[in-house]
Amino acid sequence: MKPILSSLAALLLTTALLHGDLVIVQKVEGAGQSGEQTIKIQGDKARTDLAQPVSVITDGATGDSVTLMHAQKTFLKVPAAQARAMIEQVQKMRQNAEPAKLQPTGKREKIGEYECEIFTVNLGVMTVTYWIASHYPNYQGILAQMAKVQSGGISAMSNGVMPEMKDFPGLPMKTEMDLGGKKITFLIVSAKEEAVDPAIFKIPAGYKETSATDLDLQKVK
């Protein structure tokens, strides 16, 4: 399930204002990952190509998601009903918890060419720090498109846990998640409108379906 969690983290970063497709490229460091990952969004659909040879396709309209494991040429489906069950469990655990909110630190730092204000979110077991650029071109449109995808499927598990995209005063150029001293950092290289081929949201020919149970058995072996 690690690839699904990684893609979820990536989407936690990702309309009327945005008329084209969206492509986000970011560098990832930590938690055994190192390299670039790409998020491509078209309408209600998103595909995240992780640093390792794994891709996650989500459909915000249906709530379904598919993880492609390219080395094994297999795929794992998480249907909407299963995603809803997982979301309900998360919501039950946070029944009495207040929604997470961005807390300004009063600090600033330049990320690339953009001056960023630093915010934090305390989730108890995890602290998230954001470097937010309020002058990133069309950041409202980018956040609106990311929020649209995040509202469906397994990505909706973040609803009520992480801050809502509409509450961000700019684009989070850098996001650092600290879980008990173990950190994973996402640094945006680019986020722009760019044509996306709809074929990338389909399961490649020759890939066989697997299950979470199969993956657990492979780890044991």
Q: Which residues pair with 120 in a beta bridge?
A: 103, 129
- Asked, for residue 122, whether it belongs to a domain, the answer is yes
Q: How many C-beta neighbours within 10 Å does residue 209 have? A: 11
What whole-number distance in Å separates Cα of residue 45 and Cα of residue 201? Answer: 7
What whole-number distance in Å separates Cα of residue 212 and Cα of residue 57? Answer: 16
What's the pLDDT score for residue 13? 42
What's the pLDDT score for residue 85? 61
What whole-number distance in Å separates Cα of residue 108 and Cα of residue 145? Answer: 26
What's the pLDDT score for residue 93? 54
What whole-number distance in Å separates Cα of residue 217 and Cα of residue 203? Answer: 23
Q: What CATH number corresponds to the domain at position 68?
A: 2.50.20.10
What's the pLDDT score for residue 130? 96
What's the pLDDT score for residue 83? 57
- Asked, for residue 216, whether it belongs to a domain, the answer is no
Q: Which residues pair with 22 in a beta bridge?
A: 41, 193
Is there a contact between 23 and 194 (Cβ–Cβ < 8 Å)? yes
pTM score, whole prediction: 0.73
Provide the number of structural domains found in the chain.
1
- Asked, for residue 29, whether it belongs to a domain, the answer is yes
Decide: helix, strand or coil at residue 156. Answer: helix
| Range of the structural domain that residue 172 is part of | 2-200
How confident is the prediction along the chain (221 residues), in pLDDT tens digits per residue?
Answer: 444 444 444 444 433 233 468 999 999 998 777 889 999 998 888 899 987 789 999 887 777 889 999 999 999 988 766 656 655 555 555 555 666 789 999 999 999 999 999 999 887 778 899 999 999 998 988 888 777 665 554 444 445 567 888 889 999 999 998 988 889 999 999 988 889 999 999 999 999 999 765 544 444 34
Interval 34-83: pLDDT, tens: 889 999 998 888 899 987 789 999 887 777 889 999 999 999 988 766 65
- Asked, for residue 81, whether it belongs to a domain, the answer is yes
- Asked, for residue 51, whether it belongs to a domain, the answer is yes
- Asked, for residue 214, whether it belongs to a domain, the answer is no
What's the pLDDT score for residue 108? 97
- Asked, for residue 213, whether it belongs to a domain, the answer is no
- Asked, for residue 94, whether it belongs to a domain, the answer is yes
